[in-house]
Structure 1
Amino acid sequence: MNARLNHAQPYALGLFRVVVGLLFAFHGASSLFGLFGNDGTPAGTWPGWYAAVIELVGGALVLLGAGTRTAAFISSGSMAYAYFTVHQPEALLPIQNQGEGAAIFCWAFLLIVFTGPGAFALDQLFTSGRSGGASRGSGEERKEQPAPVAA
């Protein structure tokens, strides 16, 4: 069972990255352009418009797997900033201050920073030609490592 799960890990990470990036990009597009029933944010307003640009561009880059770790790091920081400046002053816990979305996005992007893009990433196309093998963070190198021994 562990061998099958380990084999599927890069694909699960890739799908996770695609879904998180897509949701984040949609959030940015709705804020920037007034899509999906939301009002658009006026250009240049701080911090809303800049956050929306990070959401749209960062989400699209993470979705495509291009510059994944950098885009995920910036996106995670953006959501940490949003949580602590917008939500946390209202109440301590995310359930009380409507900050669940910001908290989840922050931690999801931080996970992507450390795990890499997984499968289906454009990053793999750019790095595999230079290194002659799987790209860093693609999950491919994980397949070659033995499974951890259960205690």
Structure 2
Amino acid sequence: MDFGFLAPYRPQLLSVLRIMTGLLLFQFGVAKILKFPAVPMFANPPTLSLVAGGIELVLGALLIVGLFTRLSAFLLAGEMALAYFIGHMFKTGSAVFHPLLNGGTLAAMFCFACLYLASAGPGPWSVDASRGKA
């Protein structure tokens, strides 16, 4: 099946991917740092979770608006890789690599989405594009 009809919209869809990825990461930062909404697993986060929340809050916001997109996405890809290997892989006490079993599916998906954004850039609907830095 050919989905060539979407080809003319690739630049705009790249912007949509960037915006939605940023929004979804931003919500985790808001929950960890600002405690909104009150998520029980983020009630008393350890220091590492606060650092991760700060990164997700700031870099997620930069992704949403498309400012310093490549750098922000690259750093977020690294953070999500660390989240997977530190927070999920050894969650059960022994190394469980399979994301479905260790709860790391979102971290893995965010990692590769951000890695793609770091290479593809922000798309046309971004501050970077308006500055000519895309």
Q: Please report the TM-score for the alignment, with normalisation by the length of structure 2.
A: 0.86
Q: Distance in 1 between matches of 2:44 and 2:31?
A: 9
**Unaligned stretches of 5+ residues in structure 1:** 128-134, 137-151
* 2:121 equivalent to 1:120: no
Query: Is the 8 Å Cα contact of residues 123 and 129 (structure 2) preserved in structure 1?
Result: no
**What do the CA deviations read for 1:66-99 (whole angstroms, capped 9, x no partner)?**
0000000001100101101111123220000001
Q: Distance in 1 between matches of 2:105 and 2:130?
A: 34
Counterpart code for 1:76? A
Bigger Rg, structure 1 or 2: 1
* 2:55 equivalent to 1:54: yes
- Give the drift of 1:41: 5.0
Runs of 4 or more, structure 1, over 2 Å off, are 39-42
Q: Please report the TM-score for the alignment, with normalisation by the length of structure 1.
A: 0.77
* 2:131 equivalent to 1:108: no
Match of 2:79 in 1: 78
Q: Distance in 1 between matches of 2:53 and 2:20?
A: 18
47-56 vs 33-42, greater mean Cα deviation: 33-42
Q: How many percent of aligned residue pairs carry the same amino acid?
A: 33
**Unaligned stretches of 5+ residues in structure 2:** none
CA RMSD of aligned residues (A): 1.6
**What do the CA deviations read for 1:12-33 (whole angstroms, capped 9, x no partner)?**
0001111110010011100111
Superposed, 1:1-151 pairs within 5 Å as: 2=4, 4-38=5-39, 39-40=42-43, 45-89=46-90, 90=92, 91-127=96-132, 135-136=133-134
